[in-house]
Amino acid sequence: MSAVDTPVVELVGVDAAYRERVVLSGIDLSIAPGERVAIVGPNGAGKSSLLRVVTGTLRPSAGRVTLDGDPVERLDRMAIARRLAVVPQAGALPFAARVEEVVGLGRLAHEDPFRGHRPADRAAIAAAIERVGVGGLLGRDARELSLGERQLVLLAMAVAQAAPVLVLDEPTVHLDLRHQVETMDLLVDLNRRDGTTIVAVLHDLGLAAHFFPRLVLMAHGRIVADGAPDNVLVDDRIREVFGVDPAFVRRSGGQTGVSAIDGVPASR
Amino acid sequence: MATRTEVLGAPLARTGPLERVRSRPAILLGGSVVALFVVLILGVALGSVAVAPADTVAILAHRLLGLDLGATWTPAAETIVMDLRLPRVLAAMVVGLGLAVAGVTFQGILRNPLADPYVLGTASGAALGAAIAVLIPIRIALLGFGLVQVLAFVGALLAVTVVYRFSRTGTLAPLTSLLLTGYAVGSLLAAGLAMTMYLSGTNLRQIFYYLLGGFEGTSWSQVLLTAPIILLATIAILARARSLNGFLLGEETAAHLGVDVRRERAILLGLASLITAAAVSISGLIGFVGLVVPHVVRLVVGPNARWVLPLSAIIGASLLAAADLVARLAGGIPVGVVTAIIGAPFFLVLLRRARTGYEL
């Protein structure tokens, strides 16, 4: 990180809790523009809570969170949406909605409040559909799609939001192997070509280590390691944090071996 | 994918007339405005004493627009048109418009396709208010509003307020909590209504009449007092169509897309409740318009609230005025019965679809 760049996302001494249950304690995290950061850790480590604090949907009980140097609690939702796009988990849709209509929701913070999409919005929607490769799904009711397809549509929606920071919570969870790798490649491409900062919670340590130059490892609401994959995913730490034999982690992914995606040219 | 599509029912048509309308909802809006005027003319012209449509148009043009179309008519026809039928038709239109808009809003915010304007307790609040008003031996009349209308309005708003306050437990008032609180408060009020009806004696018929809903004897002053409330609240909701769209994928995603969820939810629920309260105060409880119209519109134009709201408003207005006309021509049966006879089968079909198409 260069010293002159204001971090796009910065957390200093952040604690957070749902009522009595503490989910984050003493989080310090600084993400520079153009970084690609994967947040990893076991279930209940506080990864999603960390994202919710970053996106302003969970208010910290202590510490401060800034986006581009501005305290997140002083930004309204529209301002946050223009700085930070979040890929939601595939959920239920109450009404029929076409794929392009769902992707179009990504323009909410940009469109005319009364007349809706303008040409620039339509261009951004078309570009996002092209980029994520969901053109084949146009005209389909999003409720008829498989969970994996829906996940890609929601990714396209967040891409259409055209924010400098893209936040993802388990973006590959419903995807088959090919789509997992394609999604990762897309994130790398968005990062390299557009300079989009990527912050993703990932369960798959193999994907994380392969596609992300920086890993943040969390456990019990704290950050226990932060750095290059090889420095974060060391044997003792894996044994301690995940409670499994590191050899197993390595076999299914892990620091250097990425057996799960063998045969795929490394994009790193 | 093909098998999945088959299992879940036919995909949305990609060609054909439905598709053409969907890509150009403006055509549909134009068509429904024309339908609205046709219903207006028919609604005023037809009845126990028919006034020729040409005379009806001439009277309306003369009295409302100051135009002289060169036609002549009897003073009796003018009285029927202006004093009896026009306020009734306009009341049905305003109420139909309001219920449809409130339905779109409640369904959108609660993300529940089976929500209607009465889902948060407005109906039971209004019913109890009206029933109590019937039992109170004081007769007041202010600008055409009796105690029944006033207490129905107050009861509806009170019920929604109680439901909303009670449901707000955590930081984000969860929608499930809102729906369940609405159900619980509704049940309590329904018990109160049952008790009131039990105690009402000879007034039972009057309470019953209110519960069935209708526009018998609607006065100009009732229309002129409720129409501004309903129309202004509708415009305010229309101006927030963007927020309503944001709720399609849930509250958390709405926030990420740029919607101030807590504020917009409170404003939209408040406006829709105000509309519902104003509507039930003059019409009693009329079901299905607020539930069915938004679904029909969504089936044709998709989920975009910028089109669903105005289209539902116009179609809801036409539909309820048409239902009231049918009710009148059928010898004065309550309009609530007509909408239920049309609406209930439609609702059943919708429920059948719900097993496959809707995810609740």
Looking at residue B7, its pLDDT comes to 30
The mean pLDDT value for B157-179 works out to: 76
> Model pTM?
0.87
Choose the mutation target among B18, B256, B350 for the interface with A, i.e. most A CBs under 10 Å: B256
Q: Is the pLDDT of residue A254 over 60?
A: no
CA distance to B5, B33, B212, B283, B285, per residue, from B337 (Å): 38, 25, 7, 13, 10
Dihedral sign of CA atoms B201, B203, B207, B213 in order: positive
Predicted pLDDT of residue A75: 94
Residue B12 and residue A91: Cβ atoms within 8 Å? no
Q: Specify the higher pLDDT residue, B227 or B141.
A: B227
The domain limits of chain B are 26-353
Residue B246 is nearest to which of A91, A108, A140, comparing CB atoms? A108
Average pLDDT over residues B196-214: 83
Q: What pLDDT, on the 0 to 100 scale, is given for residue B347?
A: 67
Amino acid residing at B183: Y
**Residue A266 pLDDT more than 70?**
no
Chain B residue numbers with beta carbons less than 8 Å from the beta carbon of A93 are 248-249, 359
| Measured distance CA(B256)–CA(B240) in Å, rounded | 17
Overall residue count recorded for chain A in this entry? 268
Q: What is the pLDDT of residues B294-333, one digit of tens each?
A: 988 888 888 999 999 999 999 999 999 999 999 999 888 8
Task: Tell me the average pLDDT across B155-183.
Answer: 78
Cα maximum dimension of chain B: 68
Cβ neighbours of B357 in A, within 8 Å = 96, 143
First-residue to last-residue Cα distance in chain A: 18
Handedness of CA B207, B209, B212, B218 (dihedral sign): negative
Q: How many CA atoms lie within 13 A of B324 on its CB side?
A: 32
Judged against a pLDDT cut of 50, whether residue B349 lies above it is answered with yes
CA gyration radius, chain B? 21
Residue with tokens 């629920």: B269
Q: Is A91 near chain B, with CB under 8 Å?
A: yes
pLDDT in tens, A86-131: 998 877 788 888 999 999 999 999 999 888 999 999 999 999 999 9
Confidence class for position A53, pLDDT limits 50, 70, 90: very high
Where would I find the H helices in chain B? 2-7, 17-23, 25-45, 53-60, 75-79, 86-110, 122-135, 147-167, 175-199, 204-212, 220-238, 241-246, 251-257, 261-283, 289-301, 305-329, 335-356
Q: How many angstroms separate the CA atoms of B307 and B108, rounded?
A: 13
Contact A96 B249 (CB under 8 A): no
Residues 6 or more apart whose Cβ sits within 8 Å of residue A6: A33, A68, A69
Can you give the pLDDT at residue B360? 36
Average pLDDT on B273-288 reads: 88
Q: Does any CB of chain A come closer than 8 Å to the CB of residue B239?
A: yes
Number of residues written out for chain B: 360
Output the CA torsion sign for A119, A125, A127, A130. Answer: negative
- CATH number among 3.90.700.10, 1.10.3720.10, 3.40.50.1970, 1.10.3470.10, domain B26-353: 1.10.3470.10
Predicted ipTM beyond 0.85:
yes
Cβ of B256 within 8 Å of Cβ of A85? The answer is yes
Give pLDDT, residue A264: 43
Kindly state the average pLDDT of the residues A18-36: 93
Token pair listed for A159 = 């891409």
Percent of chain A with pLDDT over 90: 65
